[in-house]
Amino acid sequence: MYSGKIVLLFAPLVALAAWTSNPWRESQSSVSPKEATTRTNGLAAWQQVYSVLTHPRCINCHTATNHPQQGDDRHRHFANVVRGPQGKGVPALQCVTCHQDANADSTGVPGGHDWHLAPLSMKWQDLNDNILSSAEVCRAITDRSKNNNRDGAALLKHHTEEPLVLWAFQPGRRIDGSLRTLPPLTHEQFVAATRKWVEAGTPCPQTP
């Protein structure tokens, strides 16, 4: 596969190209055909990543509000649970008050290590629960002032190893015994798409 060094070498160029060019225009004087293909592939990979990020299993905790969502219909989480100062709830009503380190299939409560909300900087919906566009989400997660200073490699690592990300792909059973709906990709596919996107320089779509 591509070595990390080559990616790092080309990444700024591709990123620059992404910021300055219209991805839907066929030829760019400043972008080589190879880079354009890479960018196109990267954007396609990003769309796959986006499809996972905006699936309920992920986006339910990437809210803009003071509370998480739950369910495939992304309704407001019951029992008035709130974000709290660190996204972990408040005393007596923390996320871990109910959510343990692993799924509790016998009681229908999902679980993963250190269950908590993504920070507001990682909100992928607006205050009216409308999912942000592909461009907006891409901008948010590549913004190092907002994403905990993660570069492409760190983003890839996050998608590969973070327990709550892993949870989304083994989300456990509901109280009625049915399996929770899975994201559109498997974890392996999600990691592969992320890698492709990162190696293409984490391009973002231009449309707002």
Partner 1 sequence: METYDITVNGVPKQVTVDPGTPLLWVLREDLKMTGTKYGCGIAACGACTVHLGGVATRSCVVPISLVGSRSVVTIEAMADDPIGHAVQDEWVSLDVVQCGYCQSGQIMSAVALLKSIPKPTDKEIEESMGGNLCRCATYVRIREAIKSASQQLKT
Partner 2 sequence: MRYVHTSGNVLNLTRRSFLRVSASAAGGLLVSLYFALPLAAQEGAQPKPKAYPPDAFVQIKPDGKILITVNRLEFGQGVYTSLPMILADEMDADWSQVIAELAPAAEVYKDPLFGIQMVGGSGSIAHSFQQYRELGAKTRAMLVAAAADQWKVSPDQCRTEASVVHGPSGQLAKYAELAQAAAKQPVPATVQLKDPSQFRLVGKRVRRLDSRPKCDGSIKFGLDLDLPGMKTAVVAHPPVFGGSVKTFDDKAARSMEGVREVFEIPLVRGTAVAVVADKFWTAKQARDRLKIDWDLSAAKPADSAQLFADYKELAHAPGNVAANRGDQNAMDAVAASNRIVAEYEFPYLAHAPMEPLNTTIRFDGDRAEVWAGSQFQTVDQMAIAEVLGLKPEQVTFHTEMAGGGFGRRAVPDSHVQREAAAIAKRLRGTPVKLVWTREDDVQGGYYRPMHVHRVEIGIGQNGMPTAWRHVIVGQSLVTGTPFAAMLIKNGVDETAVEGTADTHYNIPNFHVSAHHPQVNVPVLWWRSVGHTHNGFVMETLVDELATRAKMDPIAYRLKLLSPDAKKLRACLALLEEKSATWRNSVPPNHAVGIACHESFETGVACAVEVSIDDQRPRIHRATIAVDPGVAVNPLTIESQMQGGLGFGVTQLMAKGAITLKNGRVEQRNFDGYTPPYIKDAPVAVDVHIVPSTEKPSGCGEPPVPAIAPAVVNALAKLTGKRYRNLPLASI
Cβ closer to partner 2: 117 or 165? 117
Asked if 172 and 111 touch (Cβ cutoff 8 Å), the reply is: yes
Count interface residues toward partner 2 (CB under 8 A): 5
CB of 173 to partner 1, least distance (A): 11
Question: What is the footprint of partner 1 within residues 107-136 (CB under 8 A)?
Answer: 107-109, 111
What does the per-residue mask of binding to partner 1 show for 71-90, with x meaning CB under 8 A? -------xxxxx-x-----x
CB of 108 to partner 1, least distance (A): 7
**Which residue from 8, 13, 44, 102 is in contact with partner 1, where contact means CB under 8 A?**
102
- Reduced DSSP (H G I as helix, E B as strand, rest coil) percent helix, strand, coil of the chain, to 5: 40, 10, 50
State the helix-helix crossing angle for 187-199 and 152-161, rounded to 10 degrees. 180
Asked if 66 and 129 touch (Cβ cutoff 8 Å), the reply is: no
H or E segment at 90? strand 89-90
Q: Tell me: does residue 79 bind partner 2 (CB under 8 A).
A: yes
For residue 1, the partner it binds in partner 2, partner 1, none, with Cβ less than 5 to 8 A by kind, is none
Please write down the HEC assignment for all residues of 112-136: CCCCCCCCHHHCCECCCCCECCHHH
Binding footprint of partner 2 on the chain (CB under 8 A): 78-80, 106, 177
